[in-house]
Structure 1
Amino acid sequence: MGKSRVAPKRAVTIPCLELQAATLAVKVADLIKTELDYRNLTHYFWTYFKTVLDYINNDSKGFHVFVCNRVEKIRDSTDITDWRYVCTEETPADLASRREKIQNITSSWLNGPSFLNQPDFRPTPATHNIHTK
């Protein structure tokens, strides 16, 4: 299942848009879990935007209401260890906004980044020291 949204006409910061995207991913995952009734399903959420990971990992209560509401939704539905960092070159999410051939977009969207298909692939959780990667 895939879902996307168009950015609103009014000015919204990139961190806010990326946080909305993360919240949308959580809502889609919740819907899939409910509809398919899977038990003990392991899921991972990937983002290339380190600010989103910082928001999710931050325990302070000093967020603006917009950020606080979305972080609360994310934390209620997922565990911090479910979130992973992926470099922007590896994410298929931005291909639609770049000048890519349709064959590249279709392949990447259906198969995901190539590192997911490696036999020894073990995703490591994003942590507080994510900026050191």
Structure 2
Amino acid sequence: MAKNRVAPIKGMTLPQLELMAAVLGARLGRHLLDELGMERAVYWSDSQIVIHWICSEKQQNKFIKNRRTEINDLTGSKDWRYVPTLSNPADLQTRGLSAKEFQDNTLWFQGPD
């Protein structure tokens, strides 16, 4: 499942936007786990900075701390993994693929190698 959102007008750094995407993913994951009666999921991000923020105990600014707390409350830091950007099927939406390119895209339909 993938979702695109419009960035807020208030200026945010790219890592902060990626962290917000992780919050959205954690909320969606918690909802799906509850609805499907599952106990655990694995979450993937192509942002090494976000993975570090989620897994780190280091003191961060309030923005990062609050989102990290929510993510960890919903998922747990051990459930997050890194996926290289070029192997991330969720990023296909941002690459401007034509319908034909999407239809023939093995990354989307079969996953990364």
- State the match for 1:26 in structure 2: 26
- Which residue of 44, 49, 52 corresponds with 1:51? 49
For 1:59 and 1:11, locate their aligned partners in 2 and report how far apart those are by CA, in whole Å. 26
1:86 aligns with 2:83: yes
Paired residue total: 111
Question: In the alignment, is the contact (CA less than 8 A) between 2:45 and 2:81 conserved in 1?
Answer: yes
TM-score normalised per structure 2: 0.83
1:98 aligns with 2:95: yes
For 1:69 and 1:27, locate their aligned partners in 2 and report how far apart those are by CA, in whole Å. 14
TM-score normalised per structure 1: 0.72
Q: What's the secondary structure of 1:114's corresponding residue?
A: coil
Identity %: 33
Instruction: Give matches, 1:67-78, under 5 Å.
Output: 67-78=64-75
Q: How far is 1:114 from its partner?
A: 2.6
Structure 2 residues not aligned, in runs of 5+: none
For 2:48 and 2:7, locate their aligned partners in 1 and report how far apart those are by CA, in whole Å. 20
Q: How far is 1:112 from its partner?
A: 5.6
Opposite residue 72 of structure 1, the aligned amino acid is: T
Structure 1 residues not aligned, in runs of 5+: 116-133
Question: In the alignment, is the contact (CA less than 8 A) between 1:92 and 1:112 conserved in 2?
Answer: no
RMSD (Å) for aligned C-alpha atoms: 1.9
